[in-house]
Structure 1
């Protein structure tokens, strides 16, 4: 799982993307739906077209299938061309990052109205420069579950909090020139607006550490294990077949200052917000990363950040 924003930005958060195909035994949305566009999602809340603005940048949900395809092309550029992930057949043929879940997710996009994108056909249009994928629990339940379940056993977590609304965050990326505080803050303003509108109780997903050798990541993984592990109520473990031990060093052997310096800004940002880390990591060789599970109950968010974006998400309201 890639984290291109986290490499260059000290912003709150930058990338939160589950990265592997769901188990073959689970119900999967037919792949062709990911090419053709979106189906209506029962229970969707009517949100304003614009969720926030900073200067020429606007954040909103993708309005149609064409905008979803543009977000997929952005993901292709970042994940596969820039970061050298290994593409599967459908993505390689389409030159877009595609998976079956795209058809049922909402796609948050950041658009720069000061930059024109010229498609092969049609009129020039403002460029999509960032994206985030959002999957609500009621939608996941009707369509085979969450993507994160391909790496982590979240069944107990969902069962313990029956009645709470979960939101999976994924497939986030930003073009290199926009990997700054302003763009990421606008993405998070959009997410916060969405969370409030849908009365989401818990956000979760996978965060990535670069590299596939857990030994080289012993300090970071051990720090998360000893200092950020989820309490029993919010705990979840990596799938047994993919589980990688995180507590590789003793608590006494962990240099906290050095570990924090080594962690991606994504992970540090979520820890500041009040997030917990699940038990066990997962090596994702397709994306050259080691993934950890992050669980962020809305009730645990540091009030400082709620105040920053506004209790009613009005800080960057259009």
Structure 2
């Protein structure tokens, strides 16, 4: 039943065709109207992305960052130095490029992570066995996703995913993963949505991943037969719902992040599982980055 609902949403999303766009600069992954997606080009743009993260995570969601970050009003950590920073930029805004950034994602490739102490998600989930079971696959971690309130539209989400897809093609990635969040630190407040994820898209077998034992919070709070799928989908944060549309799976157990005032779940999205319609949708423009 949940699969049918998601399939209908996919069909509705993909019905319209993208209008032809002029040729894009080499470092731009996609463009819709005045907005485009690309990687940060310099430290000023990275700092601007960190300032947006501060506005969303601290001012809006109530996160508590280390004192230096709070003083500078920027969300940053050691991973920022090794990650690539995907941006959505509204070129219609006045000012320098760093003043036009309205959304961001942080991207970390497996070879970079392994050379620098591992993935961020490993602080919450036991991802090492997953990587070991797939030595032939190359993973990339998605994190710190945020968009300014005025720009939380379907168009912005499309651009972020077009950027993620193009980046994955460029670097020959086989799977994406990362933590996605529910607001607040009481998992019981999200019992319907968490139980729905547990029963319908939980990772199994070769893709199984669990929260670290000392952080594990059960997601199995309601039996499957008592879950209304439509209500559960409505209760999902837009980001997690978007992952599901693309064919994502969810790890076993949630994790409470007190600092960020969230309840996290681990999302894993094998590239081969992404709906063919979505591959066609994004791949038509992003395919030029595969070389």
* Equivalent position of 2:180 in the other structure: 207
Please tell me whether the aligned partners of residues 106 and 142 of structure 2 are also in contact (alpha carbons under 8 angstroms): yes
- Alignment-derived partner of residue 237 in structure 2: 264
Gap runs ≥5 in structure 1: 1-9, 13-46, 118-122
The CA deviation at 1:314 is 5.7
Task: Determine if contact 1:112/1:126 at 8 Å carries over to the other structure.
Answer: no
Residue aligning to 2:147: 174
Deviations 1:46-82 (Å, cap 9, x if unpaired)? x932222111112111111121111111111221122
Any idea what the Cα deviations from partners look like across 1:152-195, whole Å, max 9, x if unmatched?
Answer: 00010000001211000011111111111111111111111101
1:88–1:164 distance in 2 versus 1, CA, 3 Å: same
Please report how far the alpha carbon of residue 255 of structure 1 lies from its aligned counterpart in structure 2 after TM superposition.
Answer: 2.3
CA distance in 2 between partners of 1:303 and 1:124 (Å): 34
Pick from 99, 104, 107 the counterpart of residue 82 of structure 2. 104
Q: List structure 1 runs of 4+ shifted beyond 6 angstroms.
A: none
Contact 1:238/1:280 (<8 A) preserved: yes
Taking structure 1 as the reference length, the TM-score comes to 0.79
Q: What SS does structure 1 have at the residue aligned with 2:176?
A: strand
**Bigger mean CA offset, 304-313 vs 213-222:** 304-313
Q: CA deviation at 1:221?
A: 1.3
CA distance in 2, matches of 1:50, 1:256: 38
Residue 291 (1) aligns with residue 264 (2): yes
Segment of structure 1 superposing worse, 69-78 or 191-200: 69-78
Indicate the SS of the match to 1:135. Answer: strand
Give the 3 Å change call, closer, same or farther, for CA 157–314 of structure 1 in structure 2. Answer: closer
* Corresponding residue to 2:131 among 155, 158, 181: 158
Which is helix-richer, 1 or 2? 2
**Count of residues in Structure 1 that have an aligned counterpart in Structure 2:** 267
Distance 1:255 1:75, change over 3 A: same
Residue by residue over 1:119-154, the C-alpha shift from the partner in whole angstroms, topping out at 9 and shown as x without a partner, is: xxxx68651111111000000000000000011000
Cα distance between partner residues in 2 of 1:207 and 1:124: 28
1:281 to 241, 254, 257: 254
Distance in 2 between the 1:204 and 1:314 partners? 21
1:215-241 Cα shifts (integer Å, max 9, x gaps):
222211111111111121101000001
**Cα deviation, residue 83, structure 1:** 2.2
- Aligned-pair distance for 1:93? 2.1
- Which has the bigger relative contact order, CA under 8 A and spacing at least 6? 1
1:230 to 192, 203, 206: 203
**1:294-305 correspondence runs (5 A):** 294-305=267-278
Contact 2:48 2:99 in 1 (8 A): no
Aligned partner of 1:78 in structure 2 is: 56
On the 8 A contact 1:192/1:313 being kept in 2, the answer is yes
Find the residue that maps to 2:100 and give its secondary structure. Answer: strand
RMSD after superposition: 2.1
